[in-house]
Amino acid sequence: MFKRLIKGLAVILGIGLLSTHLYAQEGHPLKGSWIGEWTGNSDHGDFVLIVMDWNGEEVTGMINPGTDNMEIENVDLDPSNWSVEISAGGHTIEATIENLELPSRSLAGSWSSSNGRGAFEIVRQ
Amino acid sequence: MKVFNIIQPRHLLILVLTLSGFSITHAHHPIHGKFDPADQIEFSGIVSKVDWRNPHVHVFVNVINGNDQVNWAVEMENPNILIANNWDENSLLPGDAINVSGIRARDGSRQIWGENVRLADTGRAVYTISDTSPQKPLASRPVPRWSEDNLPALGAVPGGVSGLWSYPTSTALVEDGVSVEMDAYGQLQNIGDAAQVAPMQDWALARYINRQERNLRDDPMYLDCKPPGGPRQYQSDLGLQLIEDKKNDRIFVLLGSGNRNFRIIHLDGRNQRGLVGGDDDNPLFYGRSTGQWEGDTLVVNTTGFNEGFWFTNGGLPHTDLLTMVEKFTRSNQDTLQYEVTIDDPGAYTRPWTASWELSWVGNTELPFSLCQHNRQ
C-alpha cells in the first residue's frame, strides 16, 4: 500500500516536471528530468525519476525527489562514447546516452547495489 | 529625434544607386542534412509542375533516361527568398525546357537542391542565387550622428532613407585568429578542425562534432522554428535593423530572420534582473540586455539565456551560464563592426571572442519572413 502511494506521488511529480520542461535542451546532455525504470529494484520499486543539473564543473541532482530523495554523489560522463556512471544512495548506474540529438534522449544500461542488479532505462522529459 | 543632416544630396544619390536592389543571398537553414554538397549533378528536362509554396518551392521535371522518362523534384528556397532573387510564380511554366544543376539527395532519391536553373533554348538564367554583398562607395562615407548627443546613429541614415544591416562577413562563430574552412551554414570542411573553432569543454566538443557529423540536420531553428538567439541573430542573410528609441533609452533589434522577433537593449542604467525573483527565473532565447556607450562603441551585456536553441550556425553548444558581451561600432556609414565575447563556463574553458562586419543596405525594409510560414 505504502509503495503504491509512493509510486503514485512520484508519477504526479513526474507529470509536474513534464509540464515545466517541455522545451528542447541543447546544452549539457544530462541536464533535465528523466523518468524510467530500474527493473527489479526491491528497495525503491521499478519506477525511477532522476533530476540532473550541470554547473560547469559537475553534474548534480537527485533520484526520486520528493519520495526516496537520494542525492546524486557522483556522475562521470565520457563524451567519447557518451557512457555515464552515476552513484547515489548505494546504487551504481552504468548507462549510455542514446539518441543524443533528441530532446527525449534516453539513458540505457544497468543498475546495481548490494541488494541486487537489473536493467536500467530512463528517458529525458 | 533629430539628427545632423550631414548627408549631401550627392551622397543620397550614390546611396540609392549603389545600395538599392537588396537581394537575399543564401539559404535560411542548413540543407546539407538532406542534400550532399559533394554530389553535384545536372540534367535537362521538361517542367511538369511548379509547386509554389512553403516551406520550399518544388519544380518537377520530366527527364529522359535512356528509353524511360523519370520525374525529378527540384527543391528550392522558400517563395520569399526566390522573389527577392527575381524569381516569381510564373518564371517557369509546365512545358518549359530547362537545364538544372545542384546537389543530390543523400538518400539516392530523384531529388536535387536546385542551385542553377536555365532555359534550355536561350540559356537564360531563370534562377541563380546571388552571393554578392552590395557595392560600397569608393570613398568611405562619414558616420551619421544624432544631434542631441553626437553619438553614432546605428540605424537608418538621416533624411529618412530606410535600410538594414546584412551581408555578415562571417556566418558562423569561430574564435578570432582561428582559420578553419566551413560553409555558410557553419559546416566544417574538415571535422578534424572542430577543436580549433572555440575552446570547448570535452562534452561540448563531442556534442559539436555530433551535430557536424549529422550535417546540422538537428538544428532546432530549422526543425522547430526556435529563434536565432545570441550571436546568431547577426549571422542571418535576412538582415536586421537597430531602431534607437532615445526618449526611452533603449534600442530595438528587429530581426529579418527567425519569427520576425525583436530584442530590446536597455540603456537606462538598470541592473540585470529577471522578471520575478532574480536573474534566473525566466531564461530567454534572446536573454536580457543592458548597454552603455563607450566612446563611439555600444557595449551590451546579455545574460539569462535558455538552452532551447543553437546560438550560432554550425551548432556550437551553449548553456544557461552564458554571458555575452557585444560591441557595436559603426565605423563608417556603410559598415557595422560587431564583436562578441562568449563567457560560458558551462561549455567553454575560457572566455573567447569572435568578430565580423555587416554592411548597410539602404533604401529597403526587412523582408517579411516568418519561420512558421515554412512549417505550413
Domain ranges for chain B: 35-128, 163-375
Instruction: Tell me what pLDDT residue B240 has.
Output: 93
Asked if the Cβ–Cβ distance from A27 to B320 is below 8 Å, we say yes
pLDDT band at B348 (very low <50, low <70, confident <90, very high): very high
Q: Which of A12-21, B78-87, B155-164, B200-209 has the lowest mean pLDDT?
A: A12-21
Question: Which residue in chain A is spatially nearest to B213 when comparing CA positions?
Answer: A101
pLDDT at B202 over 60: yes
What backbone phi and psi angles, to 5 degrees, belong to A68?
A: -85, -25
User: What percent of chain B stands above pLDDT 90?
Assistant: 57
CB atoms inside a 10 Å sphere around CB A116: 14
CA distance B278 to A60: 22
User: Pairing state of beta strands B111-119 and B68-75?
Assistant: parallel
d(CA B155, CA B206): 40
In CATH terms, the superfamily for domain B35-128 is Nucleic acid-binding proteins (2.40.50.140)
Interface contact A79-B317, CB threshold 8 A: no
Q: In terms of Cα–Cα distance, which of B131, B74, B78, B89 is closest to B257? A: B78
Mean pLDDT calculated for residue range B205-231: 92
Chain A interface with B: residues with Cβ < 8 Å: 23-29, 31, 54-56, 77, 79-80, 82, 100-102
Range of A22's domain? 2-124
Region A11-24: what's the mean pLDDT? 48
Which chain B residues are within 8 Å of A80, Cβ to Cβ?
Answer: 206
Q: Which of A30-34, B80-84, B223-227 has the lowest mean pLDDT?
A: B80-84
Q: What is the pTM of this model?
A: 0.82
The values of phi and psi at residue B313, to 5°, are -55, 145
Q: Write out the DSSP string of B101-119.
A: EEEEETT-SSEEEEEEEEE
Residue B367's pLDDT is: 77
- Using DSSP, state whether B297 is helix, strand or coil: strand
pLDDT of residue B129: 63
Average pLDDT over residues B111-121: 90
A27, B307 Cβ separation under 8 angstroms: yes
Terminal C-alpha separation, chain B: 41
Nearest residue in B to A58, CA atom: B346
CATH code: domain of residue A8: 2.40.128
Residues of B with CB below 8 A from A79's CB?
A: 202-203, 205-207
Predicted pLDDT at B22: 45
Contacts (Cβ under 8 Å, ≥6 apart) of B43: B61, B63, B72, B99, B100, B112
Q: What number of C-beta contacts closer than 8 Å exist between A and B?
A: 54
Question: Residue A22's closest chain B neighbor by CA?
Answer: B308
Overall number of domains in chain A: 1
Confidence of residue A110 (pLDDT cuts 50, 70, 90): very high
Task: Tell me the per-residue pLDDT of A38-83, one tens digit each, with 9 for 90 and over.
Answer: 999 999 999 999 999 999 999 999 999 988 999 999 999 999 999 9
B330: Cβ–Cβ under 8 A, 6 or more apart, which residues?
B143, B152, B153, B154, B296, B336, B337
B24 has pLDDT over 50: no
Rounded CA separation A17/A124 (Å): 11
The runs of H, that is alpha helices, within B160-281 are: 194-197, 202-213, 220-224
Q: What is the pLDDT of residues B268-288, one digit of tens each?
A: 998 877 666 655 567 889 999
Q: Can you say whether residue A64 is alpha, beta or left, with left for phi > 0 and alpha for psi between -120 and 50 degrees?
A: left
